[in-house]
Structure 1
Amino acid sequence: MSTTTIKRLKEEEEEEEEELLRGLPDHLAQLCLSRVPPALLYSVCRPWRHLIYSASFPPFLSIYAILSSSSSSNNSSSSSCIGLFSFDPISATWVPLPPPPPNPPLRLLLLRHPSFISRHLPVQSVSLSGHLLLLAATTHHLLPALSHPLVFHPISNQWRLGPPIPTPRRWCAAGSVGGAVYMASGVGADYSAAVARRAERWELEKKGWEGEWEKVAGMRDGRFSREAVEAVGLRGKLCMVNVKGDAAKEGAVYDVSRDEWEEMPEGMLAGWKGPAAALDERVMYAVLEEEIGFGVLMVYDPDEGDEWGEVVRSEHLRGAGQIAAGGGRVCAVCSGGTAIVVVDVVAQPPRIWVLHPPPSKHVVSIHVLPRMSAHIATATHS
């Protein structure tokens, strides 16, 4: 046994014997320390640092990202080289997630194909009830890559397979609202008008792992199967537009309680000119890009009427491709996946800072979820 290993084991034994707070049982000390910001605990001592990553400590939020290698971004015929990472805001490190189930292997999820030189092939994912779900992707044969959702639970550091998807698909609308995940429209092995109108949900929060995908009211037409669509959960409804960017588009809204599709409010549709996400399913944010070189973060609050309001504008928000929201912050994938821009929308005025992925990596998409219970792999500093 090496000297370094012996020293590390000795330090771990000393930490196990050391009290969190002198004179207090650990369970009472944890109650006291849980009221202290994790960033302060992290900087004091190792026992406290270990405490904030334990299952007994209230989890803070982290950014979870699907990353691709630089080679797959620059070579249209290469394999995807997808990786899954979490950015820990306390230690400022990128931590790889544990490997997902081997079937299907992540290398089969394609981002580029010679037949679509100027187009990225999406890997569609959603966050729901503290879980990260991979729902749809494309293989190198241009077929749906996922027959089951790949589901990661950060608190337990475990992957599971969700129930089989009745019609595996790609280029669909995917989102969550009210504790359930939804897939609508899209393309299966071949285009089908029936699949392009079909919508299904899995009530993960209510029925758990015993639940199955169930059919809900079908869409009015198949116009949402042209590209990957982010369905945004807002006040018990699922909202989506069929085209990204500033192009003319159509909107659709699914009312969960009535199991009906309805027209999108005019103001919501008119201002939806970029990637969007909801914060706690109460308000919706979107980033639009102006010709003068600024990206503008907009907010849609149903309590304030059918209109969008400006939150902040910044050159850092240019070229936003996807956004996620949680914990009072909106995070945007910008600069072709080479940066993540974080906006604190609670602060007045809003604060902005920029994160970068690990070297030789590009960000495909992001989510905001509770931190993993322990660092299980070598961390990479941002």
Structure 2
Amino acid sequence: METTPQCSKQTKNDSLDETVGETLLPGLPDDLAQRCLSSLSPSLLFSVCHPWRRLLYSPSFPPFFSLYALLSPLQNPTTRNLGEVASQNSIEFFSFDPLSSAWRPLPRPPQNPPLHLLHRHPSFLSRNLPIQSLAVSNHLVLIAATTHKLFPALSSPLVFHPESNRWFYGPQVSIPRRWCATGSARGVVYIASGVGSHYKPDVARSMEQWDLNKKIEKWCWENKAQLKDGRFSREAVEAVGYRGKLYMVNVKGNAVKEGAVYNVELDKWEDMPPGMVAGWTGPAATMDEDVIYVIDEVKGCLSKYDGEKDCWVKVIELEQLKRVEQIAAGRGKICAVSANGESIIVVDVGGRAARFWEVAPPRGLEVVAAHVLPRISRQE
């Protein structure tokens, strides 16, 4: 995700537009000019002139990265009865353009079957219901959620593809579930454990994979090695892809945790290093499957894992990172959803010293989850 937002004042841009013609670079054909401009910072292209800005958003230009967010309306659930909840989808989808500093809604997801993703339930005011989503191979993938009757909301993954600006459903899962372990490694999506309409031991120990690297007509879910028990069905679990393996713990915070590692190549479950388990205290994410980051939501500490020493190394400690609910990583940035979804804290870990800033959600909405994906192709 780019780091330099567009200034709201347009006087400088307008004056430059008067001196720059509609051609990208005077004296050069547009295809050659595009090659020259592709090496420049997207924030520079956005600021100089409208032809360069249009190029930046064109389908033929390499996309810069943006924030994608699942958002829920701010409203008092006690004012709604179960009938009203049942008829609504409580989640909206937006993309934040870091260059123009603007939120834009994504196209409406398909409504057949009707989509009912519930974030809050009138009968459970003190707890949010998890909506589990992933960023996989430049796709936004919704894996699991809950209906008003506390049933699994998705029988197939709901997928958004920014490049084509469209939604579609993936292959049907053999057993729809919620409160499961979800993650990805090398373009493959994994679902493990969880519960369906009711708890079943075989579902709580099961694992399936969906390989997005295959052609669409060959997409399907395949059964993989089972877990040794059903302890990972207690809550929504992040399975983090790291160097060809999936790492996860069954509970967060200071509770006694059990860690598990799935070896993708061997289709085998292994024990997690003890130092990794002990320090895995909150939401976690990976940066291109190379470094695992975790946030201690009590201390507000962002740490990265040192595999050679089996320990966590502090990156930065911030008051804003306390009680974060979900994090995502990409393009040198860690994006953390703050408590109650009031903002997204973006931490730049690509430089010598980490720095951060906050992104507020659209008015009247709170953030449920955030991801880093390529911007949507569009014309200014």
Instruction: Give the equivalent residue in structure 2 for 1:299.
Output: 304
Give the secondary structure class of the aligned counterpart of 1:29: helix
- Match of 1:241, as an amino acid? V
Give the secondary structure class of the aligned counterpart of 1:50: helix
Instruction: Give the equivalent residue in structure 1 for 2:105.
Output: 96
- The superposition leaves residues 317-340 of structure 1 with CA deviations (integer Å, 9 ceiling, x where unpaired) of 111111000001111001321011
Instruction: Give the equivalent residue in structure 1 for 2:23.
Output: 19
Please give the alpha-carbon distance, in whole angstroms, between the structure 1 residues aligned to 2:103 and 2:77: 20
- Match of 2:67, as an amino acid? I
State the shift of 1:81 in Å.
2.5
Q: Is contact 1:80–1:110 with CA below 8 Å preserved after alignment? A: yes
Q: Does 2:329 correspond to 1:321?
A: no
- The superposition leaves residues 262-300 of structure 1 with CA deviations (integer Å, 9 ceiling, x where unpaired) of 11110100000010000000110011034xxx5110001
Equivalences for residues 153-172 of structure 1 within 5 A: 153-172=161-180
State the shift of 1:73 in Å.
6.6
Please give the alpha-carbon distance, in whole angstroms, between the structure 2 residues aligned to 1:121 and 1:191: 17
Identify if the C-alpha distance between structure 1 residues 75 and 252 changes in structure 2 by more than 3 Å, giving closer, same or farther: farther
Identify if the C-alpha distance between structure 1 residues 278 and 122 changes in structure 2 by more than 3 Å, giving closer, same or farther: same
Identify if the C-alpha distance between structure 1 residues 101 and 72 changes in structure 2 by more than 3 Å, giving closer, same or farther: farther
Q: Is contact 1:179–1:206 with CA below 8 Å preserved after alignment? A: no
Please give the alpha-carbon distance, in whole angstroms, between the structure 1 residues aligned to 2:345 and 2:77: 20
State the shift of 1:209 in Å.
4.7
Give the secondary structure class of the aligned counterpart of 1:205: coil
- Match of 2:97, as an amino acid? D
Give the secondary structure class of the aligned counterpart of 1:166: coil
Instruction: Give the equivalent residue in structure 1 for 2:245.
Output: 237
State the shift of 1:350 in Å.
0.6
Please give the alpha-carbon distance, in whole angstroms, between the structure 2 residues aligned to 1:326 and 1:260: 27
Please give the alpha-carbon distance, in whole angstroms, between the structure 2 residues aligned to 1:118 and 1:346: 37
Q: Is contact 1:295–1:315 with CA below 8 Å preserved after alignment? A: yes
Which of the numbers 130, 139, 142 marks the counterpart of 1:134? 142
Please give the alpha-carbon distance, in whole angstroms, between the structure 2 residues aligned to 1:72 and 1:306: 44
- Match of 2:302, as an amino acid? L
Instruction: Give the equivalent residue in structure 2 for 1:32.
Output: 36
- The superposition leaves residues 19-53 of structure 1 with CA deviations (integer Å, 9 ceiling, x where unpaired) of 11122111111111111111111111111111111
Equivalences for residues 36-51 of structure 1 within 5 A: 36-51=40-55
Which of the numbers 66, 69, 82 marks the counterpart of 2:70? 66
Q: Is contact 2:243–2:289 with CA below 8 Å preserved after alignment? A: yes
Please give the alpha-carbon distance, in whole angstroms, between the structure 1 residues aligned to 2:379 and 2:76: 27
Please give the alpha-carbon distance, in whole angstroms, between the structure 1 residues aligned to 2:379 and 2:119: 28
Instruction: Give the equivalent residue in structure 2 for 1:9.
Output: none
Which of the numbers 266, 286, 299 marks the counterpart of 2:294? 286
- The superposition leaves residues 33-92 of structure 1 with CA deviations (integer Å, 9 ceiling, x where unpaired) of 111111111111111111111111111111110000001677685555310011111111
Q: Is contact 1:339–1:355 with CA below 8 Å preserved after alignment? A: yes
Q: Does 2:316 correspond to 1:312?
A: yes
State the shift of 1:150 in Å.
0.7
Equivalences for residues 79-228 of structure 1 within 5 A: 80-106=89-115, 108-228=116-236
Identify if the C-alpha distance between structure 1 residues 187 and 207 changes in structure 2 by more than 3 Å, giving closer, same or farther: same
Please give the alpha-carbon distance, in whole angstroms, between the structure 2 residues aligned to 1:209 and 1:126: 22
Give the secondary structure class of the aligned counterpart of 2:107: coil
Give the secondary structure class of the aligned counterpart of 1:354: strand
Q: Does 2:377 correspond to 1:363?
A: no
Instruction: Give the equivalent residue in structure 1 for 2:7.
Output: none
Please give the alpha-carbon distance, in whole angstroms, between the structure 2 residues aligned to 1:296 and 1:90: 28
Please give the alpha-carbon distance, in whole angstroms, between the structure 1 residues aligned to 2:343 and 2:360: 5
Q: Is contact 1:245–1:275 with CA below 8 Å preserved after alignment? A: no
Identify if the C-alpha distance between structure 1 residues 212 and 81 changes in structure 2 by more than 3 Å, giving closer, same or farther: same
- Match of 1:87, as an amino acid? F
Q: Cα RMSD (Å) of the superposition?
A: 1.8
Q: Is contact 1:69–1:80 with CA below 8 Å preserved after alignment? A: no
State the shift of 1:375 in Å.
6.5
Stretches of structure 1 that go unaligned for 5 or more consecutive residues are 1-16, 377-382
State the shift of 1:249 in Å.
1.2
- Match of 2:114, as an amino acid? P
- Match of 1:297, as an amino acid? L
Instruction: Give the equivalent residue in structure 1 for 2:3.
Output: none
- Match of 1:192, as an amino acid? K
Q: Is contact 2:58–2:379 with CA below 8 Å preserved after alignment? A: no
- Aligned pair count reads 356
Please give the alpha-carbon distance, in whole angstroms, between the structure 2 residues aligned to 1:260 and 1:73: 43
Q: Is contact 1:200–1:213 with CA below 8 Å preserved after alignment? A: yes
Please give the alpha-carbon distance, in whole angstroms, between the structure 2 residues aligned to 1:323 and 1:310: 16
Q: Is contact 1:163–1:209 with CA below 8 Å preserved after alignment? A: no
Identify if the C-alpha distance between structure 1 residues 323 and 73 changes in structure 2 by more than 3 Å, giving closer, same or farther: farther
* Deviating more after overlay: 264-273 vs 366-375: 366-375
